[in-house]
Amino acid sequence: MNLILPQNILLVDKPSGITSFDCIRILRRKTGIRKMGHAGTLDPMATGLMIIGVEAGTKRLHEFLKLDKTYEAEILLGVQTDTGDVTGKVIRHGAGNMEQAEEFSIINYQFSKNDPISKISKEEIEKVLMGMVGKLELPVPAYSAIKRGGEALYKKARRGEKVDTPIKTMEITSVEFLGLHILPFVKGVPHSNEGRDLKSSALADLPVSSTAWQVGSDTSFCKGGISLPVIKARFDVTSGTYIRSLAEDLGRRLGVPATLAGLRRTRIGEFRVEDAQKIDP
């Protein structure tokens, strides 16, 4: 590792599938430096920029926590999960609500021409996205580190307890609609398609056993499989904004369930992911 900045700051491009603290463990092993910390976290599914403090740089990490950030998000329309992303259990699909169901997989659901999702256009998506710019009052995800009663919400959620998610002010300073593609699923797993116009590596890399897409090895989605639309958008946001909350809010505005399918952080303040060091687990 030779990209430690003069202020004892290291920029890292986190890969998908590991935690933010896993990055620290990897860097400690590779550099031999024990005193390290990170400014803010990324979900295991997410990729992108992290700021790492090394030695004396750990004392400066608080300076970076309140900086604005830029994310590129992939938002899957047609399903909503308990975690707010594709690693969770489906609680809504299509126009239905599955909260009363003990167990559910979208393997049992066939989207029809009458579903609201089939009537959404690119123009409507772009218009709705632009209408989200500004301050928003949104619930934080149940699976988050926000504390209630001295305990992180995600710990309560993991125990199956009902979580009272607080409302938080979040702000989008600008948004750009980057495209829309249809993501086909085969045997419950996103199916790679050379013709689509953006990558969904975060989806493709997810272990089937821990996702909402798990199905039997000899079963496919419905008889001919299903395809779901994925929106890609770039969000400039203030600190403390949850992109999972934005994804669900976008779905509400479009009249359909939605969940975060992929996330990449490309900027923190003046720091950019292009200048970051890639690390291998």
Which contiguous run of DSSP H or E holds residue 30?
helix 20-31
Domain boundaries, the chain: 9-65+270-278, 69-266
Q: Report how far residue 200's alpha carbon sits from residue 198's, in angstroms, rounded to the nearest whole number.
A: 7
pTM: 0.80
Per-residue confidence (pLDDT) for residue 3, from 0 to 100: 63
Tell me the DSSP string of 236-261.
Answer: EE-TT--HHHHHHHHHHHHTS-EEEE
Per-residue confidence (pLDDT) for residue 203, from 0 to 100: 34
Say which residues have a Cβ less than 8 Å from residue 279's Cβ, sequence separation at least 6: 12, 13, 14, 15, 23, 26, 27, 30
Nearest to 258 by CA among 239, 233, 223, 225: 233
Buried b (16+ CB within 10 A) or exposed e, 15-38: bbebebeebbebbeeeeeeeebeb
Per-residue confidence (pLDDT) for residue 184, from 0 to 100: 60
Question: 43, 85, 236, 249: which one is catalytic?
Answer: 43
Examine the residue annotation and report whether 275 is marked as an active-site residue of this protein: no
Which contiguous run of DSSP H or E holds residue 138?
strand 134-139
Per-residue confidence (pLDDT) for residue 79, from 0 to 100: 83
Asked if 85 contacts 260 with a C-beta cutoff of 8 angstroms, the reply is yes
Q: In this predicted model, what pLDDT tens digit does every residue of 15-43 receive, in sequence order?
A: 998 999 999 999 999 889 999 999 988 98
Per-residue confidence (pLDDT) for residue 4, from 0 to 100: 65
Per-residue confidence (pLDDT) for residue 212, from 0 to 100: 32
Q: Give the residues of the chain that fall short of pLDDT 50.
A: 95-113, 186-225
Residue 6 CB-density burial (10 A; 0-12 exposed, 13-18 middle, 19+ buried) = exposed
Residue 125, token pair as written in the block: 């998506």
Asked if 235 contacts 177 with a C-beta cutoff of 8 angstroms, the reply is no
Q: Which CATH code of 3.30.70.3190, 3.40.190.10, 3.30.450.20, 3.40.50.300 fits the domain covering 69-266?
A: 3.30.70.3190
Per-residue confidence (pLDDT) for residue 147, from 0 to 100: 72
Residue 260, token pair as written in the block: 């975060």
Per-residue confidence (pLDDT) for residue 69, from 0 to 100: 98
